[in-house]
Amino acid sequence: MANDPDQPERPRAEPEIIPPDRRRPDDRGWPPYGFDEVRGTQRVYIGRIGPFGFALMMLVAGLLAAVFLLLLIGTALLWIPVVAAVIVIAAISGLLRRL
């Protein structure tokens, strides 16, 4: 079977592999790196969080929760005059309808 769907497709062309010692000096490579052309590996050190860092993180989380709660309560308080206005308008329209 020439068109067997289970058979992987062969590459149409072989890739060209250029050894590192045969590259041209003006060849920057791909992908182009940032503006400073820094290449290589970089290490990122992540230390354990101490008790002061944990307390600070919890303080920030509590502050964000308090701000969110205040926004939620403020939004609920904004609806009180709106609901009161709707009730007053409904009462007035009910009175006017009876006349």
- The model carries a pTM of 0.42
Give residue limits of the domains in the chain: 48-99
Per DSSP, helices labelled H in 1-99 are 51-98
Q: Are 57 and 49 in contact (CB under 8 A)?
A: yes
Q: Are 70 and 64 in contact (CB under 8 A)?
A: no
Per-residue pLDDT reduced to its tens digit, 49-67: 999 999 999 999 999 999 9
pLDDT values of the chain reduced to their tens digit, one per residue, 99 residues: 556 778 877 777 787 777 766 666 555 555 555 555 555 667 788 888 999 999 999 999 999 999 999 999 999 898 899 999 999 999 999 888 887
| Backbone angle region of 37, left / alpha / beta, with phi > 0 → left and psi within -120 to 50 → alpha | left
Distance CA 67, CA 10 (A): 60
